[in-house]
Structure 1
Amino acid sequence: MKLKTFPGGLHPPDNKKWTADKAVEDCPLPEELIIPLSQHIGAPAEVCVEKGDRVLKGQVIGRAKGFVSVPVHASTSGEVVAVEPRPHAWGKDLPAVVIRPDGEDALEGLEGADPASLGIDEIRDRIRDAGVVGMGGATFPTHVKLCPPEEKPIDTLVLNGVECEPYLTADHRLMLEETEKVLDGIDILRRVLGVSRAIVGIEANKPDAIETMARAGASRDIEVAALEVKYPQGAEKQLIKALTGREVPSGGLPMDVGVVVQNVGTAAAVSDAVMRGLPLVERIATVSGSAVAEPKNLRVRVGTPLRHMVEFCGGLVGEPAKIIMGGPMMGLAQLSLEVPATRGTSGLLLFSEKDVARSPEGPCIRCGRCVQVCPARIMPTTIAAYARLDMADEAEGYGALDCIECGCCAYTCPAAIPLVQAIRHAKAAILAKRRKV
């Protein structure tokens, strides 16, 4: 079978062997859940509970503020012990609701429904009210993606089962262990979008997931495509190119080429929201890395402190030199383990000193490796040079805004130049200038 792929990219060691064959385990509830009101792209939720309130699992504790926003729910039943800023994955303290679990895990009375009995608007409302966001890490509100404008008709739904980031195996295990839930979610998404074609893209290093999904999806007319093992195969534009041959234009969105992309985890959350009435209060996350005693795949409640997740995995092996929420290529470095897991926490990686590269930055040697691997087909070193000179217009002319911040350029750079950081600086300057116009 010829594997599908896209131009550019690279193949870092995937290091998935530590958890790929480990079934998902339920992480026990911690003594305190710290549930941030900012867990998605868009306006943060507005708190609607107070200290001293008793809440039930699934109860709304933060209301959505606007269309590009979703509510936040209690991850278990218990007492609200604080509503205050707490450490957040984004690097600063942000408002959160702190809940002390009562051990009952009492669920608020939510009702599931047969999707066939619901109208399209009712399904979208259920997805929004359940707080479903992109589970691949982007956390864009799912109901917004399901409202394409009439002038941009959609004909294809693409499901991202790629999980191209090294170490992460959460989506892999989801596709193996909750196959029917994922497929139910795909059917619901197809119905909302009014499309019949659905393609699930999975990298070839997950042959068991490819076989399982293809066998189960055949009766539902859901395609499964095997993809070359290459990073960033799971990026939206690159995935669309690999699976459909269509190219999203510069500055455009998938809907510009008739496609909507959703993560397989998002599909499972959609199924829970519509068919079972369950809001998004838990997710699967991989805990791995050389500083973890026993790497695992965990089903973890939103708001669980990272330290609690590590303790359930046997604790630390020495002092970690680096902590990353997400994958090593695009994840967010963390300063401590007091940060809570959110709806976008696909993984938690902890590395020992021996596994952390600390090469000093050198001068660009004009080798062109960054250009060769760039999936966006831009010139990272040139844009970075303009960024350092605060020449935003020139950086924009070289396509800075097309950068997807995948990190391929920095990974392959022999001079250890922090190219992604420089390009982010350029993008911020370009957008700030546009806002002033």
Structure 2
Amino acid sequence: MNLKTFLRGIHLREEKELAEKSAIRRVLPEGEMVYPLSQHIGAPAKPVVAPGDRVLMGQQIAEPDGMISAGICSSVSGTVKKIEPRMTVMGETRDAIVIENDGQYTPAEGFGAKRDYKSLSPDEIRTIIRDAGIVGMGGAGFPTAVKLTPKNPESIDTVIINGAECEPYLTSDHRLMLERPDELIEGLRVMLRLFPKAKGVIGIENNKPDAIKLLSEKLSGDPQISVQPLKTKYPQGGERMLIHAVTGRDIHSKMLPADAGCIVQNVATAIAVYQAVCCSTPLITRVMTVSGDGVNTPCNLEVYVGVSHQKVLEAAGGLNCEPEKLISGGPMMGTALYTLDVPVQKTSASILAFAHDPVAANPSTPCIHCGRCVSVCPVHLVPQMMQVAADFDDFERFEKLHGMECIECGCCTAACPAHRTLTQSFKYGKASVNRLRREAKAAAAKD
């Protein structure tokens, strides 16, 4: 097997055996559904419904508000109760549309209608994807229609499907590749129609041999799409790392994948594209992994966007203890949850519950200058020096050390024998630099 990879990175305990054999199970929600207007990169969506309105499943309830934005469709039928600020998985309060689910799941007109994508123009395909509210479902949440509209479509020669799923515990993309391979392949074909010179590559880490085998068999002899096995290493699923592994090309933070002739999409996103374009079904559900030693029955659930994390956890049999740590997303790049009373968003890949918090169990001690953080950094930075600059608010030096290039993967933190909270410092440093830039821009505009 010809395995490709990137330089550096780290080998982690995978812990995928907890849920990787669990077939996807759909869970119908009950009661109140909450749809934050900002669950993607860019401008928040603009409501097109008002309190008291009756809505149908698949109906658009908020439209994109600007070039980089994404609409939102109701995942249930029911009545709009209110539009008010609600807490999100990021711990922020954002305006949200609250709908009382009537339990009928009455579809909007045209919902589920079959369509031949080959009869559609590239612009029509992009419009359908935009109206369906599709965003990157691997975590970032960048509007998919925007990503599929690069400045020079003719320069795109490779469309990559990210099947690495390199975060520990997460298995939802693995299950999607096994259970919905045809939808994945057709979703990729839809996207390839937008880039006539491009070929498709599905990159899969070699800890998923069943997915590699299944998709390779289905694509045997296909002149346009191939499967590329990847070495199991974190963060193989990072956009820069994946592009380097598949094409050998390097990109930095000021470049877009399109600048290197590539478009990268997540497995779930590609399937969502198929469902929207070929089946007239907007993005209203997603598959989540519910795992960790604090969960009674680790599993993979297809849940409706807008349902609470509490309901999802209950569908997995609930907790077997009082967890010290709850995480939305993966353990390396996810977000700690202090409450389960927050809605599932389009980007919600998982809920992890841990009986013990490894960070709290290993308090930070002084740096011993061993250099392990440098040896594992996939973007070739010097984390120990960057942390000193960030912690002492020396943001000029932080920038000179290329701190803004950090992808916040957490490799340095995981490798550090002194348990330094390096990634946390870099998030602070990057946020501070961006704040100072905004302030300088605002001051210049006043002059």
- TM-score bracket, normalised by the shorter chain, equals over 0.9
Task: Determine the C-alpha separation between the residues in 2 that align with 1:9 and 1:252.
Answer: 21
CA distance in 2, matches of 1:253, 1:369: 29
1:230-258: CA deviation from partner (whole Å, max 9, x where unpaired): 00000000001111111114521211211
The answer on whether the counterparts of 1:305 and 1:339 sit within 8 Å (CA) in structure 2 is yes
Q: Deviations over 1:88-146 (max 9, x none)?
A: 01102211112221121011012442111111100000000000100111110001111
Counterpart-to-counterpart distance in 2, 1:376 and 1:209: 28
Give 1:53 shift. 1.5
2:198 aligned with 1:180, yes or no?
no
Correspondence for 2:324: 321
- The whole-number CA distance in structure 2 between the counterparts of 1:412 and 1:357 is 16
- What does residue 136 of structure 1 align with? 138
1:288-327 equivalence runs, <5 A:
288-327=291-330
Amino acid corresponding to residue 373 of structure 2 in structure 1? C
CA distance in 1, matches of 2:277, 2:357: 46
Which of 208, 224, 227 is the aligned partner of 1:224?
227
Indicate conservation of the 8 Å contact 1:56/1:105, yes or no: yes
Return the offset for 1:2: 3.5
How far apart are residue 83 of structure 1 and its match? Answer: 1.6
Provide the C-alpha distance between the structure 2 equivalents of 1:428 and 1:174, rounded to a whole number of angstroms: 35
Q: In 2, are the aligned partners of 1:152 and 1:256 still within 8 Å (CA)?
A: no
Please say if residues 248 and 254 of structure 1, whose CA atoms lie closer than 8 Å, have aligned partners that are also in contact: yes
Residue by residue over 1:3-48, the C-alpha shift from the partner in whole angstroms, topping out at 9 and shown as x without a partner, is: 2111111111110001111100011212221111111000111122
> What are structure 1's unaligned runs of at least 5 residues?
none
Q: Distance in 2 between matches of 1:40 and 1:433?
A: 23
Structure 1 residues 126, 112: closer, same or farther in 2, change over 3 A? farther
1-structure distance, mates of 2:154, 2:260: 8
Does the 8 A contact of 1:285 with 1:298 survive in 2? yes
Amino acid of the residue matched to residue 244 of structure 1?
T
- Further displaced range: 114-123 or 92-101: 92-101
The superposition leaves residues 314-347 of structure 1 with CA deviations (integer Å, 9 ceiling, x where unpaired) of 1111111111000000001111110111100111
Q: How far does the alpha carbon of each residue in 1:362-394 deviate from its partner, in whole angstroms, 9 at most, with x for none?
A: 111100010000001101111111112211121
User: Contact 1:152–1:255 (CA<8 Å) still a contact in 2?
Assistant: no
Q: Please tell me whether the aligned partners of residues 44 and 65 of structure 2 are also in contact (alpha carbons under 8 angstroms).
A: yes
- Give the 3-state SS of the residue equivalent to 2:106 in structure 1: coil
Please point out which of 273, 277, 280 is paired with 1:277: 280
Find the residue that maps to 1:76 and give its secondary structure: coil
Query: What is the distance in 1 between the residues matched to 2:336 and 2:197?
Result: 39
What does residue range 191-206 of structure 1 map to in structure 2 within 5 Å? 191-206=193-208
Residue 117 (1) aligns with residue 107 (2): no
Alignment of 1:348-387 (within 5 A): 348-353=351-356, 357-387=360-390
Please identify, of 109-118 and 297-306, the stretch whose mean Cα deviation from structure 2 is larger: 109-118
Whole-angstrom distance in 2 between the partners of 1:335 and 1:151:
43
How many residues were matched structurally? 437
Matched, 1:412 2:415: yes
Q: Does 1:126 align with 2:136?
A: no
1:322 and 1:356 in contact (8 A); partners too: no
After superposition, residues 93-112 of structure 1 pair within 5 angstroms as: 93-110=93-110, 111-112=113-114
Whole-Å Cα distance in 2 between the matches of residues 305 and 338 of structure 1? 6
Q: 1:104 is paired with a residue of what secondary structure? A: coil
- Does residue 1:39 correspond to 2:39, yes or no? yes
- Residue 393 of structure 1 is matched in structure 2 by 396
Report the 3-state secondary structure (helix = DSSP H, G, I; strand = E; otherwise coil) of the residue aligned with 1:297. strand
Deviations 1:380-409 (A, max 9, x none): 111111112211121111111110000011
Asked whether the equivalents of residues 202 and 226 of structure 1 are also in contact (C-alpha less than 8 Å), the reply is yes
Q: Which residue type is aligned with residue 329 of structure 1?
A: M
Measure how far apart 1:151 and its partner are: 8.6
Pick which of 346-355 and 145-154 moved more: 145-154
271-280 or 345-354: which moved more? 345-354
> Whole-Å Cα distance in 2 between the matches of residues 317 and 354 of structure 1?
15
For residues 114 and 129 of structure 2, the distance between their equivalents in structure 1, rounded to whole angstroms, comes to: 12
* Secondary structure of the corresponding residue to residue 251 of structure 2: coil
Checking the alignment, whether the CA contact within 8 Å between 2:78 and 2:101 is kept in structure 1 is yes
Instruction: Name the stretch that deviates more: 67-76 or 216-225.
Output: 216-225
Do the aligned partners of 1:321 and 1:356 also contact (CA within 8 Å) in 2?
A: no
1:350–1:412 CA distance, 2 compared to 1 (3 A)? same
Gaps of 5+ in 2: 442-447
Q: Quote the offset at 1:84 in angstroms.
A: 1.2
1:7 paired to 2:2? no
Farther off after superposition, 272-281 or 191-200? 191-200
Distance of 2:428 and 2:337 partners within structure 1: 20
Deviation (angstroms), 1:71: 0.7
State the TM-score, normalized to the length of structure 2.
Answer: 0.95
Equivalence for 2:444? none
Q: Retained in 1: the 8 A contact 2:325–2:357?
A: no
How far 1:154 sits from its partner (Å)? 1.0
- Aligned counterpart, 2:445: none
**2 CA distance for matches of 1:334 and 1:373?**
28
Q: Please give the residue correspondences for 1:83-94 in structure 2 after superposition, counting only pairs within 5 Å.
A: 83-94=83-94
1:169-193 per-residue CA deviation (whole Å, 9 max, x = no partner) reads 0000001101110001000111112
On the 8 A contact 2:306/2:343 being kept in 1, the answer is yes
Distance 1:252 1:32 in 2: 41
Distance 1:208 1:408, change over 3 A: same
Instruction: Identify the residue that residue 258 of structure 1 maps to in structure 2.
Output: 261
Match of 2:20 in 1: 20
Alignment-derived partner of residue 340 in structure 1: 343
What is the percentage of aligned positions where both structures have the same residue? 45
In 1, are the aligned partners of 2:31 and 2:102 still within 8 Å (CA)? no
